[in-house]
A and B are shown apart, each in its own frame.
Chain A
């Protein structure tokens, strides 16, 4: 799976769960501080991405995924290591 495709899916999942418009989500944005995502929303996002890509983030890793960029990065690592 290409980098751009992963990024696109992460962004779509994120905008849906946080009820935002596509252009409200910058790559640098922080989930809690910039996008208003609380801890439950963040967990929801993690579970949704795990389901979508059939991957599993380690708990420490999930704890550190607090920006759009870090989520894309972590997801890419998992998807790559799988193939």
Chain B
């Protein structure tokens, strides 16, 4: 198969560290984390204890999306769309002039539509089914953010939503890259979004996923559980030839990816999935492990998943490659997690900085010793690996390269 080069030309993010990629970068650079308690309400159902996590603050959505047409949008649709609008601006693209069928949207989420789904259901139970607001219906679908963005931007090309736990948004970027390589689209907005709300918060509070009110500790000896986060992050991916033609600026190039699954019967199974995905990505990018100069890891402070990842990273890369875990700062953002890891990688590739991993203090003697960053590293990696591992058994690895002359 012919191998068109695929590049990232724009990034937009809404995270607990603020609105915009710059707010995220500033937060990461300054070593800020954003964990707090938030209470989620339902007008007619019992109150919940506050949930500890990394939450997106209030912001003026209409600044990005205009005032009309946003009233019925779910929160995740709004956040995904705002991130995409920022990415579009950064890439220097103008929706009014692009060739609409050549522009696609690939979005990922684990929980999108979940709140609206259960709100519609409980409204029906509490008020009677003939009192349901039909305008809320379309927001119950997983694909609402992706579809709403396509409508907003007039992106008539391929429109894909996928869901695959913590690897979801890496999978979206990877699949988008395949489409661009085959010249089936010229521009694709790819990323993920995750928000929390009354019904999902209720589950996570009782579920034990966030019982401790402590920031997460990726790879640390004292780690216990991950802490959930909210985020939306979207990238503009383009065919390199098109970028050259329009004089666009490249932030990174997608060199390859790998994807694997193992039934999650044991820590070894997770480790195997992780290793296979990484080796596959290296093979596709035609790189030896030592060519990878930084790893943007999946670790969120979970006991098992972090141990499995540490084992596979050590086996492939040894203990000298710097490893950074963005989830120490922004939490476990599920379907948006991989996208935030890519954003962190762009900070390295475009601004020469690998931040300190928040929450990592003491190496876990039960795991091989990785070089998890304990202070900001001023270096310019040329090839980096972004790796996502989900305890459900899925792993995806993506290799990015610093911009080179096209």
Q: A residues near B, CB below 8 A?
A: 16-17, 19, 40-41, 43-44, 47-48, 50-51, 56
Chain A residues closer than 8 Å to B404, beta-carbon distance: none
Chain A residues closer than 8 Å to B68, beta-carbon distance: 19
Contact A19 B69 (CB under 8 A): yes
Smallest Cβ-Cβ distance to B68: which chain A residue = A19
| Selected interface stretch from B87-95, B129-137, B157-165, B226-234 | B129-137
Given contacts A17-B71, A47-B131, 15 further A-B contacts (CB under 8 A): A16-B71, A17-B135, A19-B67, A19-B71, A40-B134, A40-B135, A41-B135, A43-B134, A43-B135, A44-B134, A44-B135, A47-B132, A47-B134, A50-B130, A56-B130
Smallest Cβ-Cβ distance to A39: which chain B residue = B134
Interface residues of B in 152-195 (CB under 8 A from A): none
Chain A residues closer than 8 Å to B72, beta-carbon distance: 44
Chain B residues closer than 8 Å to A47, beta-carbon distance: 130-134
Whole-angstrom distance between the Cβ of A54 and the nearest chain B Cβ: 10
Chain B residues closer than 8 Å to A51, beta-carbon distance: 127, 131
Chain B residues closer than 8 Å to A16, beta-carbon distance: 71
How many residues on the B side are at the interface (Cβ–Cβ under 8 A)? 14
Smallest Cβ-Cβ distance to A19: which chain B residue = B68
State A16–B69 Cα separation when bound (angstroms).
11
Q: B residues near A, CB below 8 A?
A: 67-69, 71-72, 127, 130-135, 137-138
Smallest Cβ-Cβ distance to B138: which chain A residue = A40
Residue in A19, A48, A50 with the greatest tally of chain B CB atoms within 10 Å: A19
Sorted nearest first, the 4 A-B pairs with minimum C-beta distance are A44-B135, A43-B134, A19-B68, A40-B134
State A17–B134 Cα separation when bound (angstroms).
12
The main secondary structure of chain A at its interface with chain B is helix
Q: How many A-B residue pairs have CB under 8 A?
A: 29
State A51–B68 Cα separation when bound (angstroms).
24
State A19–B70 Cα separation when bound (angstroms).
9
Chain B residues closer than 8 Å to A43, beta-carbon distance: 134-135
Chain A residues closer than 8 Å to B133, beta-carbon distance: 44, 47-48
Chain A residues closer than 8 Å to B132, beta-carbon distance: 47
Chain A residues closer than 8 Å to B130, beta-carbon distance: 47, 50, 56
Smallest Cβ-Cβ distance to A44: which chain B residue = B135
Smallest Cβ-Cβ distance to A38: which chain B residue = B135
State A51–B127 Cα separation when bound (angstroms).
9
Smallest Cβ-Cβ distance to A51: which chain B residue = B131
Smallest Cβ-Cβ distance to B137: which chain A residue = A40
State A19–B131 Cα separation when bound (angstroms).
21
Whole-angstrom distance between the Cβ of A49 and the nearest chain B Cβ: 11
State A62–B71 Cα separation when bound (angstroms).
23
Can you list 8 A-B contacts with CB-CB less than 8 angstroms, sorted by A residue number?
A19-B68, A19-B69, A44-B134, A47-B130, A48-B133, A50-B130, A51-B127, A56-B130
State A47–B138 Cα separation when bound (angstroms).
16
Whole-angstrom distance between the Cβ of B311 and the nearest chain A Cβ: 51
Smallest Cβ-Cβ distance to B67: which chain A residue = A19
Whole-angstrom distance between the Cβ of A12 and the nearest chain B Cβ: 14
Chain B residues closer than 8 Å to A44, beta-carbon distance: 72, 133-135
Whole-angstrom distance between the Cβ of B43 and the nearest chain A Cβ: 14
Chain B residues closer than 8 Å to A48, beta-carbon distance: 133
Chain A residues closer than 8 Å to B67, beta-carbon distance: 19
Whole-angstrom distance between the Cβ of B134 and the nearest chain A Cβ: 4
Smallest Cβ-Cβ distance to B131: which chain A residue = A51
State A16–B72 Cα separation when bound (angstroms).
11
State A48–B123 Cα separation when bound (angstroms).
13
Chain B residues closer than 8 Å to A41, beta-carbon distance: 135
Chain A residues closer than 8 Å to B69, beta-carbon distance: 19
Chain A residues closer than 8 Å to B138, beta-carbon distance: 40
State A39–B235 Cα separation when bound (angstroms).
34
Whole-angstrom distance between the Cβ of B96 and the nearest chain A Cβ: 20
Whole-angstrom distance between the Cβ of B124 and the nearest chain A Cβ: 12
A50's contact among B71, B131, B135, B137, by CB below 8 Å, is which?
Answer: B131
State A43–B138 Cα separation when bound (angstroms).
13
State A44–B72 Cα separation when bound (angstroms).
10
Smallest Cβ-Cβ distance to A20: which chain B residue = B68
State A17–B69 Cα separation when bound (angstroms).
10
State A13–B68 Cα separation when bound (angstroms).
16
State A48–B68 Cα separation when bound (angstroms).
19
Chain B residues closer than 8 Å to A17, beta-carbon distance: 71, 135
Chain A residues closer than 8 Å to B137, beta-carbon distance: 40
